[in-house]
């Protein structure tokens, strides 16, 4: 029963993610048939740099604010002061990022060896909207209003699909222009989701917030470790979009192979992670609240429970990807030629194992963020992407795109193993400390019964725990 509220919250976010990804999968099928192999490759090549800028300006906003609001609410405060400070901070970061993204669009396009400048110009407003959207979602997650955050994600996907199909149909037969205008659907969908969350915030019942007002700059020490953890992977993907096509020989075939690997096989491998993302999202406020009440051992135990739940949900998906690769490729990518589809099938099977490690890594990284250890997750992911880069350079020229798949698998396996090792070690360390404190508490209780006095530090800790429990009951 003690995990029931956590599971309910995770289920709400996961349901929204499943609906969103299900709609997105149908959209990808339609878009692939409208854009063709070349158009889809161009569409996919625009994402790494966009994801990088979006990450640099908004990564960690949702997770950090979710943790902060959960801690505030565990102490009897609403967390709205933190929300408004975070909105100011990420509006500034998003505006600066959008301007830089638009300014450097020609250079990024030239670096990738493809004409993507128009698409980057269309995506620039999404960099501005992304920070505010992440902040509002983090607030509702921290306030345990999981359904509101999930509904905004579904709405965002629906709007993106509708506009994307309309734009792709408008330029059918022109794969490059169709791909660029399909990217315009992204800022339109983010704007719609942002409006929905602002409307939900306005209708929320207001309660007094007794916490001191924070300046936007004061939030940076809380946000920066989470941003660092979230930035590493998008940065490596941006490097991949430049490096991997060159290692594969360049030209249209290299662009196509890159699209099949990242937009096909590993996009499918990441779907289970999206489906269980509710577990990761629910872990942050849950673990932050437990930590705020001084229940460190219970927090690490909750993190391990979240991991087990994620892996149990991801395992059937990984098996389905491996054994059903041919049917999945035929269903989702009917516009591919027989040779292209055969290449995609082999890549899907190679990426199937990563469905488990990606889901596990996301859940553990979110758990570490909720426990205030986001810097550890960032360090582990940095080491993992460095290993991936070395393997790409060694394997891609020899094995082709399959070498890139092996490097991707190794990256997530290393990150998952390091996160798991640190979490388990920390849990056992907390357990040992808990047993030591309990024995010490029994000894102090005996001394008190014999006429002694409780040490001052123990009295303070006991009082703090009592106050936290009263705040939780309120």
Q: What is the pLDDT of residues 131-148, one digit of tens each?
A: 889 888 888 887 778 788
Q: What is the DSSP string of 279-323?
A: HHHHHHHHHHHHHHTT-HHHHHHHHHHHHHHHHHHHHHHHHHHHH
> What is the C-alpha to C-alpha distance for residues 314 and 335, in angstroms, rounded to an integer?
28
Instruction: Say yes or no to pLDDT of 436 above 70.
Output: no
How confident is residue 67, by pLDDT bands cut at 50, 70 and 90?
confident
Report d(CA 169, CA 172) in Å as an integer: 5
Per-residue confidence band for 450, with pLDDT thresholds at 50, 70 and 90: very low
Cα–chain-centroid distance for residue 285? 15
Q: What is the DSSP letter of 205?
A: P
Choose among 408, 411, 402: nearest CA to 257: 402
Q: Is the pLDDT of residue 330 over 80?
A: yes
Please give the pLDDT value at position 429: 59
Of 97-111, 302-316, 418-432, 437-451, give the lowest mean pLDDT range: 437-451
pTM of the model: 0.64
pLDDT recorded at residue 319: 93
Lowest model confidence (mean pLDDT) among 61-75, 140-154, 248-262:
61-75
pLDDT of res. 203: 64
Give helix 401-449 / helix 338-351 axis angle, nearest 10°: 20
Helices (H), 75-219: 80-103, 105-112, 117-142, 146-170, 175-183, 185-202
User: In this predicted structure, what is the pLDDT of residue 409?
Assistant: 92
- The phi, psi pair for 160, rounded to 5°, reads -60, -45
Dist. CA 224–CA 374, nearest whole Å: 9
b (16+ CB within 10 A) / e for 65-98: bbbbbbbbbbbbbbbbbbbebbbbbbbebbeebb
Cβ partners under 8 Å of residue 247, min gap 6? 392, 393, 396, 397, 404
pLDDT for the residue 452: 43
Q: How many CB atoms lie within 10 A of CB 458?
A: 16
399-414 average pLDDT score: 91
Which DSSP symbol is given to 250? S
Whether 89 and 219 have beta carbons less than 8 Å apart is answered as: yes
**Nearest by Cα to 138 from 216, 65, 224:** 65
Residues 159-214: pLDDT tens digits? 999 998 998 888 887 878 888 888 999 999 999 999 999 888 876 666 555 555 66
Tell me how far apart the alpha carbons of residues 313 and 307 are, in angstroms, rounded to a whole number.
10
Confidence class for position 415, pLDDT limits 50, 70, 90: very high
The percentage of the chain sitting over the pLDDT mark of 90, rounded to a whole number, equals: 15
How many residues does the structure list for the chain?
474
pLDDT at 3 (0 to 100) = 56
Span of 38-52, 348-362, 377-391, 409-423 with lowest mean pLDDT:
38-52
Q: How many whole angstroms separate alpha carbon 248 and alpha carbon 402?
A: 10
Range in 6-15, 253-262, 385-394 the model is least confident about: 6-15
Mean pLDDT lowest among 206-215, 226-235, 416-425 = 206-215
pLDDT value of residue 451: 44
Q: What is the mean pLDDT of residues 250-262?
A: 82
Name the pLDDT band for 296 (thresholds 50, 70, 90): low
Query: Considering only CA atoms, which of 433, 143, 148, 427 is closest in space to residue 306?
Result: 427
């Amino acid at each position: 029963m003690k995990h029931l509220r956590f599971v309910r919250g995770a289920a709400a976010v996961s349901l929204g993610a499943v609906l969103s990804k299900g709609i997105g999968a149908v959209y990808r099928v339609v878009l692939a048939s409208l854009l063709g192999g070349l158009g889809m490759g161009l569409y996919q090549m625009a994402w790494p740099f966009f994801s990088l800028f979006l990450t640099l300006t908004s990564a960690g906003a949702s997770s950090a604010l979710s943790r902060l609001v959960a801690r505030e609410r565990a102490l009897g405060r609403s967390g709205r002061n933190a929300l408004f400070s975070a909105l100011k901070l990420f509006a500034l970061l998003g505006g600066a990022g959008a301007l830089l993204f638009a300014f450097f669009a020609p250079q990024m396009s030239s670096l990738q060896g493809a004409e993507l400048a128009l698409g980057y110009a269309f995506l620039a407003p999404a960099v501005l909207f992304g920070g505010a959207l992440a902040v509002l979602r983090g607030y509702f997650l921290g306030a345990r209003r999981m359904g509101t955050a999930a509904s905004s994600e579904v709405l965002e996907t629906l709007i993106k699909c509708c506009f994307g199909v309309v734009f792709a149909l408008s330029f059918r037969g022109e794969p490059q222009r169709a791909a660029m205008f399909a990217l315009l659907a992204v800022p339109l969908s983010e704007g719609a989701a942002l409006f929905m969350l602002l409307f939900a915030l306005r209708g929320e019942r207001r309660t007094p917030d007794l916490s001191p007002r924070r300046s936007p700059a004061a939030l940076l020490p809380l946000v920066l470790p989470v941003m660092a953890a979230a930035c590493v992977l998008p940065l490596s993907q941006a490097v991949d979009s430049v490096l991997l096509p060159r290692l594969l020989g360049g030209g249209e075939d290299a662009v196509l192979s890159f699209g099949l690997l990242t937009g096909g096989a590993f996009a499918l491998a990441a779907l289970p992670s999206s489906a269980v993302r509710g577990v990761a999202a629910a872990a942050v406020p849950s673990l932050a609240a437990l930590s705020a009440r001084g229940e460190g051992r219970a927090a690490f135990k909750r993190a391990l429970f979240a991991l087990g739940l994620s892996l149990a949900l991801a395992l059937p998906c990984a098996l389905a990807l491996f054994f059903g690769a041919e049917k999945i490729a035929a269903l989702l990518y009917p516009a591919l030629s027989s040779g292209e589809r055969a290449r995609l099938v082999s890549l899907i099977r190679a990426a199937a194992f990563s469905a488990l490690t990606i889901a596990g890594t996301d859940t553990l990284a979110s758990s570490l963020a909720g426990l205030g250890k986001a810097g550890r997750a960032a360090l582990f992911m940095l080491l993992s992407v460095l290993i991936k880069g070395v393997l790409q350079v060694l394997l891609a020229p020899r094995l082709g795109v399959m070498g890139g798949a092996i490097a991707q698998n190794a990256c997530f396996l290393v990150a998952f193993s390091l996160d798991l090792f640190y979490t388990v070690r920390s849990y056992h360390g907390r357990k040992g400390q808990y047993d030591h404190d309990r024995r010490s508490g029994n000894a102090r209780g005996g001394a008190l019964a014999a006429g002694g006095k409780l040490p001052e530090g123990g009295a303070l800790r006991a009082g703090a725990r009592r106050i936290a429990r009263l705040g939780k009951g309120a």
